[in-house]
Amino acid sequence: MAITRAQVANISELAAWMQANAVPSIFKSVIYANSILTATDADDNVVLSIKGAQNGSDYLRAYRAENNYLEIAFAEFPNHSNTIEVIGCDNGFIIDCIVYYTSNYYSRQFCALFTKTNNEKVAIIFPSTLSATASSSYTTTLRHVAFGDSATIATTTTFTPEAGQQTSLTAWKTNPDPGAVSYTPKAFYLDMHSGYSSGIGKFVLNGEEYITNGYWAISCSTV
Amino acid sequence: MAVDITQELEKIENNPNGSVVKDAIYDALLKLANAEGGGSGTTVGDAWFVLDGIKNATVGRASFSEIVID
């Protein structure tokens, strides 16, 4: 499965990358018009919108239902002087933003995962904030949306590793309700990640190929 | 370039002083695979870590003390 990596300077370039690499694998369509990126799922629901005019009122919205969305403002989303990297394959992609203060000192401002659940819903998972020290607490608070999942679940999930010092590949549950569990079978949260270096990696585990930015690991095997 | 670390380590595992050599090669191969697998800029490298049975590896930003799958 092809792995694609790019650096984008703005939302327009992000839209172009998503059109080329995330349609139709994740989204049915990605449109950029009037400074707004809009993405739809296979049922023509709007599942994502990003307003990127950099005027102080910009936002990223991840929809769980029509008129029901999670939103982050651009205070958290990159808007200038940052490196915005996208990398992914047909099973999902990551938008990663890193602010470089110097070549050796930087922090991650934003790291969002886009993938599909076991129910073939578009899943969008992003942090309220992430910093280079986020991993030290071994607990991370993330917000997540899969369109059509229960709207009653909390908008934040505090994740604590299950097994001591081990790093595990943990499928993210976008809806943990008993009997209606949905999760991300092809994308995994690394609960003991390291936030202190940049770059991506590729690894093979039990015959399956993964890419990782240190926070997420996405399976890029076809099976 | 593909780097099958497990395979490379197996070649020297039973040699005299194997543990010292093994550690050195292990580190070198991990660094090589990390650099070449990650690529740079907008590229994606060719190398893959093969992590089966490996502990204390760093892949991209992820540090693995041991790998398990839930």
Contact A209 B48 (CB under 8 A): yes
Which of A55-59, A61-65, A142-146 is least confident? Answer: A55-59
- With beta carbons under 8 A apart, name residues in chain A contacting B52: 204-206
Q: Going residue by residue through chain B (70 aa), what tens digit of pLDDT does each one get?
A: 566 666 777 777 767 677 777 777 777 877 788 788 888 888 898 888 888 777 777 777 677 777 666 4
Whether residue B42 and residue A167 make contact (CB cut-off 8 A), yes or no, is no
- Whether the link from the prior residue into A24 is cis, omega within 30° of 0, is yes
Q: Which of residues 11-70 of B touch A (CB under 8 A)?
A: 34, 37-45, 47-52, 57-70
Predicted TM-score (pTM) of the model is 0.83
Cα separations in angstroms, A32 against A11, A62, B21: 8, 16, 55
For B60, the closest of A166, A167, A200 (CB atoms) is A200
Neighbours of A150 (CB within 10 A): 14
Nearest to A204 among B49, B63, B69 (CB): B49
Considering only the beta carbons, identify the residue of A7, A166, A213 that sits closest to B42. A7
- Residue pLDDT, tens place only, A74-85: 655 554 456 678
Q: What is the pLDDT of residues A170-207, one digit of tens each?
A: 788 887 777 778 888 999 887 665 554 567 888 888 88
Of the ranges A37-46, A47-56, A79-88, the best mean pLDDT one: A37-46
Q: Which chain A residues are within 8 Å of B70, Cβ to Cβ?
A: 162, 168-171
Which has more pLDDT, A25 or A82?
Answer: A25
